[in-house]
Amino acid sequence: MSTAGKVIKCKAAVLWETHKPFSIEDIEVAPPKAHEVRIKMVATGVCRSDDHVVSGSMVSPFPVVVGHEGAGIVESVGEGVTSVKPGDKVIPLFSPQCGKCRVCKHPENNLCIKNDLIKPRGTLLDGTCRFTCRGKPIHNFLGTSTFSQYTVVDEIAVAKIDGASPLEKVCLIGCGFTTGYGSAVKVAKVTPGSSCAVFGLGGVGLSVVIGCKTAGASRIIAVDINKDKFAKAKELGATECINPLDYNKPIEEVLQEMTDGGVDFSFEVIGRLDTMNSALVSCHAACGVSVIVGVPPNAKNLSVNPMLLLLGRTWKGAIFGGYKSKDEVPRLVTDFMAEKFPLEPLITHVLPFEEINEGFDLLRTGKS
């Protein structure tokens, strides 16, 4: 029996307020309006950015269904939708691509002005939500809200992918893998034979390592205070792994000594102000490039000596690895299917949806 045009009742992990666990709730998901798509979610990753909403370091209206790294199957579409149809496998895009704004038309940049990152509305583009729980409207998160069995997204925030792709793996292309991999190959533009330092070895950091290896870097130095992460980093391409706690000097000095004045490329994949500064200083003063990948705490500023940049360093950042989402996500899925890069090593646990809080515990304790 078709559910198109009808309200769907399903389960979702609702966050009612900060510093509280997710609550598995029965919710109602309204049908898609014009230029919207309703998706049956099949798999979703647990990302640190979602945890930033829990902790309050990332701003979001409450109550909210978070989650932004997922994959699913189109259940129904609203009027005027042409890029996907019911039955298509898709990935929701927290970084949309309208194709018409100044940024979408820019050949290099990708942060579409219709994003919900900079000033979070907690709604779809028309200013309303599609979720209801206990009679109350529930906010969307980054236009995706993948922690629900069904979600509604704007057409500019969904990409059709290879119908043979395994959704429980390619869901990582919805955020973590693409953010890290693209930061190396597209944002930093890592060069063959170069040296790299990657600060933070979570899923995104490991994806940076994969990107550096793919780009042909000869030295990839992985930096983390959790030694349990080192084996996986080396499996994916790190040539050396170092723990800042093993040294009685700043880690940037250690890296400078190891690499004749600093690495060619450094990546901060944690979201801490102190490590952003360390990553910057650890790249070479005259020719180094440092990329901010981790999401920094909201409303916090970093004080930097401008001489660090005057001498020739480049300091940059990007959302979603610099990729134009609607164009590039299908290509990345195709590349994965062609075995151009692995995703399986990034998946440490597979849990039923009802155990989402246990998943976040694994994230917070560094066990995933």
Which of 35, 60, 68, 76 is flagged as catalytic?
68
55 counts as catalytic: no
| CB 282, CB 263: distance < 8 Å | yes
Coil, strand, or helix at residue 55?
helix
Which of 112, 171, 175, 212 is flagged as catalytic?
175
| CB 269, CB 212: distance < 8 Å | no
Peptide bond between residue 63 and the one before it cis (omega within 30 degrees of 0): yes
98 counts as catalytic: no
175 counts as catalytic: yes
Coil, strand, or helix at residue 297?
coil
68 counts as catalytic: yes
Which of 35, 47, 195, 278 is flagged as catalytic?
47
Distance, first Cα to last Cα, the chain: 39
What count of Cα atoms within 13 Å lies in the side-chain half-sphere of residue 309?
A: 9
Cα separation, 113 vs 291, whole angstroms: 22
Listing DSSP states for 184-247 in one string gives IIIII---TT-EEEEE--SHHHHHHHHHHHHTT-SEEEEE-S-GGGHHHHHHHT-SEEE-GGG-
| CB 360, CB 51: distance < 8 Å | yes
Task: Please report, as a single letter, which amino acid is at residue 221.
Answer: I
Which of 35, 52, 139, 284 is flagged as catalytic?
52
| CB 52, CB 58: distance < 8 Å | yes
Helices 356-364 and 48-55, interaxial angle, to 10°?
A: 90
52 counts as catalytic: yes
Question: Residue 345 carries which DSSP code?
Answer: G
Which of 49, 76, 290, 325 is flagged as catalytic?
49
Catalytic residues: 47, 49, 52, 68, 175
